[in-house]
Structures are given as structure tokens and as C-alpha cells.
Homo-oligomer: A and B are copies of this chain.
Amino acid sequence: MGLIVQKYGGTSVGTAERIRTVAARLLATQRAGHDVVAVISAMAGVTDNLIKLAKEIAPEPSARELDLLLSTGEQGASALTAMAVNALGGKAVSLSGAAAGIVTDGAHTKARISHISPRQIQELLAEDYIVIVAGFQGQSPDGAITTLGRGGSDLTAIALAAALKADDCQIFTDVDGVHTCDPRVVPEARKIDEVAYDELLEMAGAGAKVIQSRAVEFAKKFGIGFEVRSSLKDEPGTKATAAPSNLEDWVVRGVSLERNQAKVTISGVPDRPGCAGKIFTALAAANLSLDVIVQNASSTGTTDLSFTLNKDELALTQRALEPLVKEIGAAGLTASMGVAKLSVVGIGMRSHAAVASRLFACLGEAGVNIQLISTSEIKITVVINESDLERAAQVTHAAFGLARPHMPPPSA
């Protein structure tokens, strides 16, 4: 007994058949004694089609109008889901983000939620309605429809769970949870039962896209527990909390992989204030998002600066940097494709210096050359050749005993 928020992604509502399945699950949840709020994404493909149409009409569509256009995808899918619940004999109404009381700032296409007034939802719940809320959208204080950025329905669900003080928030998707590694690469990878927000953030950043990062940040900020689970099965998924109950047992929670990377190195950068600033200002101006930035300590008056980025953005990056290399007096610019990132992530890692040595040792034994290393408090990332990625993932997964549940932490 309690209030449950369930979020369904575009694949989960991608056909009439699937919408009926979602409706049946919502009804079953209500009949089990719960109040139910559902957050619905646009049907798979709809948002992409609308964006395509907008770009045909205007190369750079007005952000205000783009929000009005894109918000219709979630509104339509929500109305269809409510119809499906009603057709099964239930009682449902759908609400746009605005009608659900989701108030955002006025930053069209990337609005931030400022507050939620859930009065209408609460009144409808009190009348035994299943309340279906269009995800990904809200309304600015001056009444304009806004959207929350790609994947924004996750944020809608977490924020509604917070505003409604929900007892549970379930993010239904087409995978059955967060895994210790990509099962297509490491067959013995297994579903993780519990994960810390920070671990999920690091994993999401490193390519495990089960939930929008902003939604996880929001959950962390307000302490909203949620569960990522499959809309196709009826099995527990992965629960995200501040500190998983089995924290002590685990050092490394999972291994994240990211392909399609490129590595750029600017060599011989004069080691004086402002050089790095100029470089990253130029890259930010070109709207490029970098990752794994490494600068070696300098002893010779110059230093090498490396970073990785998505390989699709390499050409743009080179165009942005080439004039700058001369200007700051660097020695040169080298770029390579065919690299990948492997990260081990775990909140328990903070107190275990042994994790790094174990990682480097197992990769070394497997003959995998490490090109760059970057660490955060709960993550160690290595940049390696993409051709080495599968082998590296398998040996790392084995070295940290991730295939066996509840293995004791490795000792150095």
C-alpha cells in the first residue's frame, strides 16, 4: 500500500499492443492496493520524426516552437495510455506536464524544473484515478510549454516522486536493470540488485544509458530511491539509493565500456597560465563535449594535453584547434581514432587503493596497452585500443569477481 510512480520509455509504448501491456501493468499495480502515477514518453520514433520535420522547415527551428512541437509526442502517448486503461475497465486521465503542475524555468529545449504543484494529481488520486502524466515537459511561469532535454521523462518521474512523496519510483525500460558489464561483451555479466546514485552517474557517463544523468542527480539531491526495471518481464530490476545495503561487500560495482572514441593530444603546450583555458574555451564555443582530460606534470616548461571525445566530433575539433596550436606556440596536434574507454566504478573504491593496481595488473597480464588514465573518487577510467576492449572487459570483470554475487572484496 502506497503511492508508486512508474515511468515508461518510448520502446515500452512503441505500439498499440505495448501500450495495452503498460495499461495492464498500471491496473495490476492499482489493484494490488497502490495509488499509481505513470509518466509516459513519446512512442518510439515519434520525437525523431518531429525533429526531422522541424529541420526540413527551418534549419534552426525556434526553441519555443520546437518545445510546443515535441511536447505533443508525450501528450499523445499519455492520452493513448489513459484510453487503454479505460478500455480495460480502469479509471485513468492523462495530464500534460503543465496540467500536472510541473513548473520550469524559461530555457526552452533544456528547461530545469523549478517546482511542482501536484494538487491536481493528488485530487485525481483521491478519486481513484490512475494519473498519466506526459513526460519530458513542463510550463514556464509565463505559460509557455517547455521541455526538459533528451531523456527528460526520467527526470519528470523522479521529480514527481519527490513532490508526491511517493513510496516507490520505477523506471521501466527495455533492459532489465543495470549490469556489471555489457552482457554482449561479457556473457557472465549479471544484473546488479542495488547501486549508489554516484555509481549510476559514473556508469551513465561512461556509456551505460539506462537513465538520464540529470534524473539521477535530482534523485541524489533529494534522496529519492528508484528502481530501473524491464517493462517486458515481471522481475525486480536494479534499485538506486544513496548507499546500497551491501556497501561493505563491494568494491567495484561494474565495468562500463564506451566505444567510438577519439583521442586528441596537443603536444608541447607552453606551461604558462591561460594556455589550457584558451584551448577549452575554443572547444566549448564549438559546443564540443570532452571527456578524460589528462595533462601531465610539467618539468621541461612544456606539457602534453590529451583528451577524448566522440569520434564523430573529431573533424570539428581539429578545425577548432588548429589555429590555436600556432597561437599558443604548441608543438603540434595529433589525433587518433579507434580508441575506447573502460571504467571500473564502485562507491567502495574510495577506501581501496588496491583497485587501481589490480586493474592495471590484469590489463598488463592480458597484454592490453593503457594510453591514458583518469580517476575520480569512485571510478578509474583507462583509454585503450578499441580492438582490445572486449578482452580487457572480460579480464577486468573476472579480476574483480563480478560474475559471482556477494563475493568478498578483493585484497591487494
Contacts and interface: CB of A to CB of B under 8 A. Distances in A.
Given A59-B87, A87-B59, A99-B143, A54 B72 contact: no
A75 B76 CA distance: 11
A365 interface: no
A16 B56 CA distance: 6
Interface string A66-94: 10110011011011101110110000011
A84 to B, nearest CB: 5
A210 to B, nearest CB: 27
Task: Give the size range of A's interface with the partner.
Answer: 35 or more
Contact of A86 (B20, B62, B75, B80): B62
A64 interface: yes
A81 to B, nearest CB: 8
A50 B62 CA distance: 26
Nearest to A120: B143
B143 A57 contact: no
A87 B16 contact: no
A53 interface: yes
A94 B75 contact: no
A75 B94 CA distance: 17
A65 interface: yes
Interface of A is mostly: helix
Given A54-B83, A56-B16, A69 B65 contact: no
A64 B58 CA distance: 33
Given A50-B76, A58-B83, A68-B94, 16 more contacts: A16-B53, A16-B56, A16-B57, A54-B80, A58-B84, A58-B86, A59-B87, A61-B83, A62-B83, A62-B86, A65-B80, A65-B93, A66-B79, A68-B75, A69-B79, A69-B83
Interface of A: 16, 19-20, 50, 53-54, 56-62, 64-66, 68-69, 72-73, 75-76, 78-80, 82-84, 86-87, 93-94, 96, 99, 143
Contact of A82 (B19, B50, B65, B87): B65
Nearest to A52: B16
Contacts of A96: 68
Q: Tell me how many chains of this kind the complex includes.
A: 2
- Interface-central residue, A19, A20, A64, A79, by most chain B CB under 10 Å: A79
B94 A57 contact: no
Given A75-B72, A76-B72, A87-B58, A65 B53 contact: no
Contacts of A20: 57
A66 to B, nearest CB: 7
A134 to B, nearest CB: 9
A16 B53 CA distance: 7
Nearest to A16: B56
Nearest to A143: B99
Given A62-B83, A65-B83, A69-B79, A57 B93 contact: no
B79 A94 contact: no
10 contacts: A54-B80, A54-B83, A58-B86, A58-B87, A62-B86, A65-B94, A66-B79, A68-B75, A68-B78, A69-B75
Contacts of A87: 57-61
B72 A84 contact: no
Given A50-B76, A69-B76, A57 B19 contact: yes
- Interface-central residue, A69, A75, A86, by most chain B CB under 10 Å: A69
